[in-house]
């Protein structure tokens, strides 16, 4: 176990905390508030932000779509550059936050913003950004990742940079009250798979990371079971669990997989499948395919998360328990966006993986293109 760990994002957690942004952003900043399709205008979040920024100079950019696009974000970058904006405030879910991170980094670059994704531009600095989170799912509010889509080529790709980790994030569970059930369930499932990607590898004996991952998984399972009885405490627990699932802590010094995400992103890019649902489609098939490496950890999950008893088929029963968890939330594990024969769909995804050079995915680099093809055949 060897790692360096820091997570400098200040978290303001709890009801009424949106007012904290007035102290968290320097008063002499020129702020651009970035948000999505307008949900924040229906739940009072926008009004609270306006009140909190009453002593700041600010303007706004709206219309960042779910699975944010380069095409839209380039317009925000243009505004930042021409109006000398020097602080960004993302108000929304993972898409708005990721989009804002992209703007924060690309605004300091003279070339094409996509250079950030291809790696041609490696940011050494970015504009500071803060977050008001309205959808707990991605952990983007306090991590250094972002995923952006280039609409023109249907490419969905990410970048990682410590320069875009938010300076602060407000996590007020009341902001979630207007979330449609579908988005709330997406949040649960995305956070679940984030923990799995960092946990279902091989047993490491790292008690903190593995034990904490199991706590987070049990939380998400319990929150799923209590979905119909959700209240303030339920919302607060989901918000904090989803944050902890991908703020970097449980992944420190651990082998990590992320192949479910890499393959899942292609389903979103090609058929607009919700991010979380793309993961539920791929994951069970991927786990079965990688049993040779992951069996020990899947069995550990069966015992410590699902409370299953030992047996020769414990790993398979654990995967079935994961599938049952998705089914209990009405999350499809089939690609229903494509009807009939799915072989063209499998080819299309494999082609994308090949184009991106995703030739050896997973913690053991054991998921070759051919293995991805087998996983997709089983999954779709």
Smallest gap from residue 220 Cβ to ligand NZQ (A): 15
Dihedral sign, Cα of residue 290, residue 292, residue 293, residue 295: positive
The interface region with ligand NZQ, picked from 70-78, 121-129, 173-181, 247-255 by CB under 6 A, is 173-181
Alpha-carbon distance of 195 to 121, in angstroms, equals 30
Pick between residue 187 and residue 302 the one whose CB is nearest to Zn ion.
187
Q: What share of the chain is helix, strand, coil (3-state, %, to 5)?
A: 55, 10, 35
278 is an interface residue for ligand NZQ by CB under 6 A: no
Residue number, nearest CB to ligand NZQ: 36
Dihedral sign, Cα of residue 48, residue 51, residue 53, residue 57: positive
- Among 29, 95, 198, 247, interactor with ligand NZQ by CB under 6 A: 95
274 is an interface residue for Zn ion by CB under 5 A: no
Output DSSP code: residue 365.
S
The interface region with ligand NZQ, picked from 11-19, 112-120, 176-184, 289-297 by CB under 6 A, is 176-184
Residues touching ligand NZQ, count (CB under 6 A)? 34
98 is an interface residue for Zn ion by CB under 5 A: no
Pick between residue 145 and residue 224 the one whose CB is nearest to ligand NZQ.
145
Q: Read off φ and ψ for residue 31, nearest 5 degrees.
A: -100, 140
Pick between residue 128 and residue 362 the one whose CB is nearest to Zn ion.
362
Alpha-carbon distance of 223 to 225, in angstroms, equals 5
39 is an interface residue for ligand NZQ by CB under 6 A: yes
3-class SS letters over 2-50: CCCCCCCCEEEECCCHHHHHHHHCCCCCEEEEEECCCHHHHCCHHHHHH
Concatenated DSSP letters of 108-163? T-SS-TTHHHHTSS--S----EEEEESS-SS-GGGSSEEEEEEGGGTEEEEEE-GG
Question: Hey, what are 284's tokens?
Answer: 């069970």
- Among 11, 29, 93, 224, interactor with ligand NZQ by CB under 6 A: 93
| Contact pattern from residue 115 through residue 154 relative to ligand NZQ, giving x for each residue in contact according to CB under 6 A and a dash for the rest | -------------------xx-xxxx--x-xxx-------
- Among 190, 197, 210, 299, interactor with Zn ion by CB under 5 A: 190
Q: Which residues bind ligand NZQ (CB under 6 A)?
A: 36-40, 43, 66-67, 92-96, 98, 134-135, 137-140, 143, 145-147, 175-176, 178-179, 183, 186, 190, 246, 261, 275
């Amino acid at each position: 176990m060897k790692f360096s760990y820091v997570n400098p994002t200040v978290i303001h957690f709890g009801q009424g905390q949106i007012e904290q942004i007035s102290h968290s952003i320097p008063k002499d900043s020129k702020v651009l508030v970035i948000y999505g399709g307008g949900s924040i205008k229906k739940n009072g979040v926008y009004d609270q932000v306006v009140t909190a920024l009453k002593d700041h100079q600010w303007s706004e950019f709206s219309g960042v779509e779910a699975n944010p696009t380069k095409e839209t974000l380039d317009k925000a970058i243009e505004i930042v550059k021409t109006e000398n904006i020097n602080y960004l405030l993302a108000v929304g879910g993972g898409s708005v936050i990721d989009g804002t991170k992209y703007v924060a980094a690309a605004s300091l670059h003279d070339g094409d913003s996509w250079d950030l994704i291809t790696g041609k531009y490696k940011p050494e600095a970015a504009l500071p950004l803060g977050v008001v989170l309205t959808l707990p799912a991605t952990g983007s509010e306090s991590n250094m990742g972002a995923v952006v889509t280039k609409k023109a080529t249907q490419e969905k790709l990410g970048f990682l940079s410590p320069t875009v980790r938010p300076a602060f994030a407000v996590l007020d569970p009341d902001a979630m009250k207007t979330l449609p059930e579908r988005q709330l369930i997406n949040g649960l499932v995305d956070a679940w798979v984030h923990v799995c990607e960092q946990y279902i590898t091989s047993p490491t004996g790292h008690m903190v990371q593995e034990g904490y991952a199991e706590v987070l998984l049990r939380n998400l399972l319990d929150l799923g079971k209590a979905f119909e009885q959700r209240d303030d405490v339920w919302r607060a627990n989901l918000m904090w669990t989803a944050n902890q699932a991908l703020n970097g802590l449980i992944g420190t010094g651990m082998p990590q997989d992320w192949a479910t995400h890499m393959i899942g992103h292609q389903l979103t890019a090609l058929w607009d499948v919700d991010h979380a649902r793309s993961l539920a489609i791929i994951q069970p098939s991927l786990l079965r395919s990688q049993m040779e490496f992951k069996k020990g950890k899947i069995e550990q999950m069966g015992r410590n998360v699902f409370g299953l008893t030992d047996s020769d088929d414990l790993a398979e029963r654990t995967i079935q328990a994961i599938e049952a968890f998705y089914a209990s939330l009405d999350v499809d594990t089939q690609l229903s966006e494509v009807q009939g024969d799915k072989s063209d769909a499998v080819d299309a995804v494999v082609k994308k993986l090949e184009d991106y050079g995703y030739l050896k995915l997973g913690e053991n680099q054991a998921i070759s293109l051919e293995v991805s093809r087998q996983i997709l055949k089983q999954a779709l």
